Chains A and B, each alone.
Chain A
């Protein structure tokens, strides 16, 4: 966790505003104009009916034009902060202005095996190991499944992922499911762990990640999930993706305005379904298509920070994307892109920064890379930490006592305070001989060794037996329904 409030007293922040408040307002106005003039296509009847009843106009059966008033009303009822708990019911993440949390991504189709360096298909055991590593890493605040297991039935891979997450870490979860039914099952599993639907609503430890076709096309599955979660009073992340230059304007402002219009559709619907439903906005209205390779990159600099400024403008909790790389391996590019994107997302103030450990533009993941990201998160936390400028910290008396020729190594002040400075775990600071004596390893090799050490030593808190049984039953029920 990085607290980006630099000075608790003056309440100033280190947050960087990529665009000004006036520019935010202009983009907001543009989104409102898009919704009122162009409208969005919705592929779910209940969603269309809700909007129609509230005063939106519907043409062509499913093209909905939403008046600005509906959006403003939604802003008056949506909670401006969301607390996510851990699986033991302890408050773990306050998604609000000035707090940035880090977590993994989901569903990688490949893994770079930290033991062999080989790129291969992931299996369920990789998800299990990933979650155990996350559980142990201090700066990983929440988890997503990381890998898509290929050794279970593809239609219920999401149930197995959820089970593995519940079993191997107590940290808050962001879950992604294949279909609407997967979302219903994930909620049921979370309710079992929380001890009931009311308990989960009171102390939610899981939020659903929902992708939407584009800013102006909302697929049935996404709308069903959104409305179901709103009804339940559970947090949803609503994430339309219009790729700049392809399904939206190539210019950052136009691209963000279009995607933001889509986010506002989700916001209005969640509040129409149930006033006060927790809603987390998307700050990943991200990228363009790389016009040379035709890959959709994850580590672009151009647009980062723009949707973040907008989410601040709204004072809504936001979901960001960092710690990821377009590199194919755990190399220099991967480290550089992970560090840059995590820093930019943190300065932008994203509350949930996901995709730590991603490689290959979202297609591959690595536990060694995740360890590096954990290290980067620590660095950022300390770099943006509030600076203590009390008299005790200024230590004028000590300076005077020691005089111009003094040394501070043996003072109590050093003894009591030196531990407050950041120490790396896998970044190397030794001199050449020390480094060589320890094997002359690269960052990637040291990170891989750290993964092995965690897997050998760390035991996550197990689920109570009866709970584990009920979870398994839900997985099996789903599996049967697809046979």
Chain B
């Protein structure tokens, strides 16, 4: 019986019906299912299928986003229940991300952020033209595992280096992994500025992030 309900939850995520995912989650709680079971065997199972379908080209970006939104909304319902049981959903890690000072290119950075939250990371997106101090402050405040720096211009990629240096100055460089990306960025540049990694696109960014926190 409960297996059928969990299957339905999985399906609501895979087929992109966030409202249904929320309703079914509520029903599952009412039926006495454990929140962690709902997450693992219902919601996350669905997200994994969506991820696979995206990889194989069957699904497009909007499928991914709507599935993530269903997951997120269902999680809002589950959080208080988890707290009450003194449990926590496994967060993949905390990420601070933004486009560096002087750069207003937003789209790639936001996609990376969205894909990371869809993969279970807790993401703080600081927006564009973010000052170096703001990055450092947010990393301190959140104790982030990963800092993502986006730069689409050759004139702003040097700011990535500045941020890495500021993290050193602030004495928190070894507490956070720095990953960089954007059109002019390469693995070579990541090595030059002593960042911890580079990814060419959002899918690569998620994989890299998972390796970084593993």
Contact of B154 among A150, A289, A292, A293 (CB under 8 A): A150
Contact of B107 among A148, A150, A293, A296 (CB under 8 A): A296
Tell me which of B20-28, B36-44, B54-62, B79-87 binds A.
B54-62
Contact size range, A: 20 to 34
Q: Are A289 and B61 in contact (CB under 8 A)?
A: yes
* Residue B104 at the chain A interface, CB threshold 8 Å: yes
Name the contact of A291 in the complex, choosing from B62, B106, B128, B201 (C-beta under 8 A).
B62
Chain A contacts with B in 92-133, Cβ cutoff 8 A: 109
Q: Does A388 contact B (CB under 8 A)?
A: no
In the complex, what residues of B have CB within 8 A of residue A62's CB? none
Residues B104 and A213 in contact, CB atoms below 8 Å apart: yes
Distance, CA A157 to CA B154, complexed state (A) = 10
In the assembled complex, the Cα of A243 lies from the Cα of B110 at a distance in Å of 13
The reply to whether the CB of B137 lies closer than 8 angstroms to some CB of chain A is no
- Measured in the bound complex, the distance between the Cα atoms of B189 and A150 in whole Å is 13
Contact string, A304-347, partner B, CB cutoff 8 A, digits 1/0?
00000000000000000000000000000000000000000000
A294 within 8 A of B: yes
Contact in complex: A294, B202 (CB < 8 Å):
yes
B150 to chain A, nearest CB (A): 13
In the complex, whether B48 has a CB less than 8 A from a CB of chain A is: no
> When the two chains form their complex, are residues A292 and B60 in contact, meaning their CB atoms are under 8 A apart?
yes
Contacts of A150 in B (CB 8 A): 154
Bound form: Cα–Cα A291–B60 in Å = 5
Contact A109 B183 (CB under 8 A): yes
CA distance A475 to B154 in the complex (A): 18
B2 at interface by CB-CB < 8 Å: no
Chain B residue nearest to A221 in the complex (CB): B104
A156–B107 alpha-carbon span in the complex (Å): 26
CB distance from B163 to the nearest CB of A (A): 17
C-alpha gap A243/B109 in the complex (Å): 14
Interchain nearest-CB distance for B101 vs A (Å): 12
CB distance from A471 to the nearest CB of B (A): 21
Please, how many residues of chain B have a CB less than 8 angstroms from a CB on the other chain?
Answer: 20
**Cβ < 8 Å to A, chain B residues 148-187:** 153-155, 157-158, 183-184
Residue of B nearest to A213 (CB): B104
Asked whether B130 is an interface residue with its Cβ less than 8 Å from the other chain, the reply is no
A363 contacts the other chain (CB 8 A): yes
Q: A109-B184, A291-B62, A294-B202 are in contact. Are A247 and B107 (CB under 8 A)?
A: yes
| Bound complex: CA A398 to CA B125 (Å) | 77
Q: Does B77 contact A (CB under 8 A)?
A: no
Given contacts A213-B104, A219-B104, contact A294 B155 (CB under 8 A): no
A154 within 8 A of B: yes
Q: Which of B128, B155, B157 has the most CB of A within 10 A?
A: B155
User: Across the interface, which residues of B come within 8 angstroms of A292, CB to CB?
Assistant: 57, 60-61
Give A221 Cβ to nearest chain B Cβ, in Å. 8
Chain B CB within 8 A of A178 CB: yes
Roughly how many angstroms separate A154 CA and B154 CA in the complex, as a whole number?
A: 6
Point out the residues of chain B lying under 8 angstroms from A296, CB to CB. Answer: 107
Are B107 and A243 neighbours in the complex by a CB distance under 8 Å? yes
Contact bitstring B95-128, A, C-beta under 8 A = 1, else 0: 0000000001011101100000000000000001
- A409 adjacent to chain B (CB < 8 Å): no
CB distance from B3 to the nearest CB of A (A): 33
Instruction: Give chain A residues whose Cβ lies under 8 Å from the Cβ of B128.
Output: 213
B155 contacts which chain A residues (CB < 8 A)?
154-155, 157, 178-179
> Which B residues lie within 8 Å of A363 (CB)?
183
**Which residues of chain B come closer than 8 Å to A246, judged between CB atoms?**
107, 110-111
Contact across chains for A291 and B61 when beta carbons are under 8 A apart: yes
Q: Which residue of A lies closest to B60 (CB)?
A: A291
Question: Roughly how many angstroms separate A213 CA and B102 CA in the complex, as a whole number?
Answer: 12
A155 to chain B, nearest CB (A): 6
Complexed CA–CA distance, A247 and B110 (Å): 11
Cα distance, A310 to B184, chains bound together (Å): 34
| A293 to B54 CA separation, bound complex (whole angstroms) | 10
Q: Is the CB of B60 within 8 A of A247?
A: no
Q: How far is the CA of A64 from the CA of B107 in the complex (A)?
A: 24
State the Cβ distance, A174 to closest chain B Cβ, in Å: 19
Check A154/B183 contact, CB under 8 A, given A247-B107, A291-B61, A292-B57: no
Q: List 13 A-B contacts (CB under 8 A).
A: A109-B154, A154-B154, A178-B155, A213-B104, A245-B62, A246-B107, A289-B61, A291-B60, A291-B62, A292-B61, A294-B111, A294-B201, A296-B107
Apart from A148-B154, A243-B107, A289-B107: 19 A-B pairs, beta carbons within 8 A: A109-B183, A109-B184, A150-B154, A154-B155, A154-B157, A154-B158, A155-B155, A157-B154, A178-B155, A179-B155, A213-B104, A246-B111, A247-B106, A289-B61, A292-B61, A294-B61, A294-B111, A294-B202, A363-B183
Q: Which 9 A-B pairs have the closest CB atoms?
A: A291-B60, A291-B61, A154-B154, A178-B155, A213-B104, A154-B155, A109-B184, A246-B107, A219-B104
